[in-house]
Amino acid sequence: EKWVYAFGGGSSEGDASMRNTLGGKGANLAEMANLGLPVPPGFTIITDVCNAYYDGGKTYPAGLDAQIDAALAGLEKVTGKSFGDPSDPLLVSVRSGARASMPGMMDTVLNLGLNDETAEGLAKLSGDRRFAYDSYRRFIQMYSDVVLGVDHSLFEEILETFKEENDYTLDTELSADDWEEIVSQYKSAAASALGYDFPSDPREQLKGAIGAVFDSWMTDRAITYRRLHDIPASWGTAVNVQAMVFGNMGETSATGVAFTRDPSTGDKGYYGEFLINAQGEDVVAGIRTPQCLTKAMREAMGDREPSMEEALPESYAELAAVFDTLERHYRDMQDIEFTVERGRLWMLQTRNGKRTANAALKIAVDMAEEGLITTDEAVLRVEPSALDQLLHPTIAPDAVRDVIATGLPASPGAACGTVVFDSDVAESKAAAGEKVILVRIETSPEDIHGMHAAQGIVTARGGMTSHAAVVARGMGRPCVSGAGMMKIDYAGKFFTAGGRRVEEGDTITIDGATGEVLAGEVKMFKPELAGDFAKLMVWADKARRMKVRTNAETPADVQTAKEFGAEGIGLCRTEHMFFDADRIAAVREMILSDDREGRVAALAKILPMQRADFESIFEIMEDRPCTIRLLDPPLHEFLPHTEDDVRDVAAATGLSATALMERARSLGETNPMLGHRGCRLGITFPEIYEMQARAIFEAQVNVEKKTGVQPVAEVMIPLVATAKELEILKARVAGVAKMVQQETGKAPVYLIGTMIELPRAALRAGEIAEAAEFFSFGTNDLTQTTFGLSRDDAGKFLGDYLDAGIFEKDPFVSIDTDGVGELVSLAAERGRKTRDTLKLGICGEHGGDPASIHFCESVGLDYVSCSPYRVPIARLAAAQAAL
């Protein structure tokens, strides 16, 4: 079995198509080498080894050692150097590379192969002792931290003390001898922390580093990241061992990170940061503030250090040519790491770049218009859930901005919340419903959960490619990074900036588009959905088969949904209308009357209000179909709760407060979700459904008269378990329609259908379809009843189920395709067999979840319905599902 694949030196054993085996980084290094780009040679230990390692209780598969030895020998041959040889030492980097990129999650070791002898050899060979010992001390620190678990602060303290004692402020002031002294102090510090000597044998170092990469696959932070991004543990990570090239060999050496287009805005133009005389981790870690890649960027940012375009023009030109080659080859925006070693450019990585929703949209539309990709491909390029970000608020242009501090505009959108300094605190406050802004000196992978819980993130240190910036963009959280004037005191729980002091719990607003941190809560507004967004939506609508409707009942929500492109209403929950201030009293009166007459009298008061509700919905929706569900929840949900309410209702009904409380108690149920609700109410109290049907039909007639447009109603009976229930209620509703027709001379245009939200209804769908003209899958209840899992209580233990891997995803968020899905597909099939014109839709929360929408496409539903703000997401997801 082949465990190790070589790349570089003119050709590669792998290529980009082998991503699952080689990991993203390894596959693209191989591909770049195949394209003839300058890639330092190396080899990839494949992802299967990671699985074998864990399957074997952290042991390696047989034959791996020999293959690594062979690959190393090959590497020595192409580089002409040898591992551990003081006269010309081969040094390598060791990096992880999973199938999906996991930024900052996995560990990297640079300069591996250094020890006292090879460091001296490197010094002679490079003619630069300072460089050699600077590299050596970096290696000891990195290796100790990443592989041996010695905290890096131990080394930082040694360096700080040394600098103080010698009156140095900058690292660049240290001489070769100084670094050599630091190396010896580092080694003894490592030895006393470890209880054994720092390993000097390069082969032992390599073995340790490879093990550390595999071990890091199962750290808490990697597990958390995978959970948040739905990455299965079984994918494993590959390990890339690659000959070192040095960006820290003086003023003609540099290292940087770049994007072929702006990852924040999507603007066409190279974008990135670099540092002269530095190694890769300096840019990413945000220890030194990087310089701009291009002159245009530098001018836009008012940065005074020269850009790479100006400082290293030849290398820059070469890099720009590589960018073009890569973009044309991959047909997508690339995120690139490079190093310049004494004027020579080397490519260390390329991958499809992470981007904000705005940038994703702009890049997809631009590339389609440039002819680089098709419009269908453009549709597939934008994550539906990322559209959420485009619906993010921004700060109103006329808002008063009381600026406390300014940093970099690291991730767009505006957010407001109370200041917290700790990720655990952020998580617990957010869980309690508080909106928080996480303020950190810098973030690390240990902060992922806090960043996720926060509305936005601010850091005092770090550039546009720092951990905070990259992760926040990925999560769609607004972020301001590198606000250097902020002095953060974690212990005192406050920060100061420009003479002002902000405590934990104070409210701030951040503007991720300008990099400003503002005092208090600042006015925000909704984004405009025109331009690129509209173009993409047109392409999506062309590609899509399923219709997209909305779940809405207030005129404002219906209007919003229509603007977002809703093609009808998939669920109007009439009970929401019963709570309005002008009618709740009448609703309570209806519920509390203990005879039919009393109910009919109260319903007569509700009728005109309910009719007016439907009129405004029909007017907005014009000729689009509107599914209106008759009353569903158990009646006691409407009962008076406060003493005042009880007194008011008692007065209105003429009952005594005691009698009223007694009646309320009698309506109580042990298990209301399985109790007297849905169509069961219609069976017991047909007058309620008759009033609602009348309101619908009269509203239709009135609106048609007023506007000339014929409203289309779909009357929906909830929680049906048997065909008989539907038959009885359908006859009632149809009877009302006939009456309205006789009274008005106009025939209402309507269908009668049912929700499928009980397993029995799904199983008996063939019979139910005899009466139903449409089915709408109520997957909230269907999930609840299929699993026997309470919608209202599952939250308490769902986390345990996710942690234990029993559920991969919350089944109330993303449909359980195996179980609930099987019922849906079976009901669709049985229903259509009875009635081939049966209209099929979904109106549970799943109707706005992209993965569930894919499922709906696969079982041939006619439409999905979701909340107004998710309509664009559903349009895009439905298009992707159809492509």
Binding site for ligand PEP (CB under 6 A): 571, 573, 632, 757, 778-781, 843-844
**Bridge-partner residues for 693, per DSSP?**
none
Q: Which of ligand PEP, Mg ion, none lies near 843, with the C-beta cut-off 5 to 8 A by kind?
A: ligand PEP
Minimum CB distance to ligand PEP, residue 769 (Å): 19
Q: Which of 449, 467, 679, 856 is catalytic?
A: 467
Mapping DSSP to helix (H, G, I), strand (E, B) and coil, where does residue 512 land? coil
Question: How far apart are alpha carbons 787 and 819 in whole angstroms?
Answer: 9
Minimum CB distance to ligand PEP, residue 538 (Å): 29
Which residue, 477 or 677, has its beta carbon nearer to ligand PEP?
Answer: 677
Q: Which of 292, 479, 679, 843 is catalytic?
A: 843
Question: How far apart are alpha carbons 569 and 562 in whole angstroms?
Answer: 9
Which residue, 206 or 679, has its beta carbon nearer to ligand PEP?
Answer: 679
729, containing H or E segment: helix 723-744
Selected range binding Mg ion among 153-161, 287-295, 778-786, 862-870, rule: CB under 5 A: 778-786
Minimum CB distance to ligand PEP, residue 563 (Å): 23
What is the residue-wise DSSP string for 71-123?
HHHHHHHHHS-EET-TTSEE-EEEEEEESS--TTTS-EEEEET--HHHHHHHH
Query: Roughly what angle, to the nearest 10 degrees, separates helices 176-194 and 129-146?
Result: 20
Sign of CA dihedral 501, 504, 508, 514: positive
Pair type for strands 516-519 and 403-406: antiparallel
Minimum CB distance to Mg ion, residue 262 (Å): 45
449 is catalytic: no
Buried b (16+ CB within 10 A) or exposed e, 162-195: bbeeeebeeeeebeeebbbbbbebbbebbeeeee
Q: Which of ligand PEP, Mg ion, none lies near 456, with the C-beta cut-off 5 to 8 A by kind?
A: none
Phi, psi of 285 (to 5 degrees): -75, -15
Q: 744 with 706: CB under 8 angstroms? A: no
**Number of amino acids touching Mg ion (CB under 5 A):** 3
With binding defined as CB under 5 A, does residue 335 bind Mg ion? no
Which residue, 412 or 778, has its beta carbon nearer to ligand PEP?
Answer: 778
Q: 325, 320, 309: which is closest to 274 by C-alpha?
A: 309
Minimum CB distance to ligand PEP, residue 829 (Å): 20
Which residue, 420 or 820, has its beta carbon nearer to ligand PEP?
Answer: 820
Q: Which of ligand PEP, Mg ion, none lies near 308, with the C-beta cut-off 5 to 8 A by kind?
A: none
Which residue, 168 or 869, has its beta carbon nearer to ligand PEP?
Answer: 869
Q: How big is the CA angle at 98 (ends 97 and 101), to the nearest 5 degrees?
A: 90
Q: 563 with 619: CB under 8 angstroms? A: no
Which residue, 497 or 752, has its beta carbon nearer to ligand PEP?
Answer: 752
Phi, psi of 335 (to 5 degrees): -110, 120
With binding defined as CB under 5 A, does residue 778 bind Mg ion? yes
- Within positions 736 to 765, which residues make up the interface with Mg ion, using CB under 5 A? 757
Which residue, 107 or 757, has its beta carbon nearer to ligand PEP?
Answer: 757
Minimum CB distance to ligand PEP, residue 262 (Å): 41
Q: How big is the CA angle at 349 (ends 347 and 350), to the nearest 5 degrees?
A: 105
Contacts for 632 with CB less than 8 Å, ≥ 6 apart: 573, 574, 575, 677, 678, 681, 718, 719
Q: Which of Mg ion, ligand PEP, none lies near 236, with the C-beta cut-off 5 to 8 A by kind?
A: none
Of 120, 504, 781, 849, the one binding Mg ion (CB under 5 A) is 781
Minimum CB distance to ligand PEP, residue 777 (Å): 7
Q: Which of ligand PEP, Mg ion, none lies near 779, with the C-beta cut-off 5 to 8 A by kind?
A: ligand PEP
Which residue, 327 or 632, has its beta carbon nearer to ligand PEP?
Answer: 632
Which residue, 457 or 571, has its beta carbon nearer to ligand PEP?
Answer: 571
What is the residue-wise DSSP string for 539-574?
HHHHH--SEEEEE--SHHHHHHHHHTT--SEEEEEH
Q: Which of ligand PEP, Mg ion, none lies near 573, with the C-beta cut-off 5 to 8 A by kind?
A: ligand PEP
| Span between the terminal Cα atoms of the chain, in Å | 37
Contacts for 778 with CB less than 8 Å, ≥ 6 apart: 718, 719, 755, 756, 757, 843, 844
Q: Which of ligand PEP, Mg ion, none lies near 615, with the C-beta cut-off 5 to 8 A by kind?
A: none
152 is catalytic: no
Q: 685, 833, 713: which is closest to 768 by C-alpha?
A: 833
Residue with nearest beta carbon to Mg ion? 781
Minimum CB distance to ligand PEP, residue 640 (Å): 22
CA atoms within 13 A on the CB side of 203: 9
**Bridge-partner residues for 155, per DSSP?**
none
Residues that bind Mg ion (CB under 5 A): 757, 778, 781
* Residues annotated as catalytic (active site), given as ranges: 467, 843
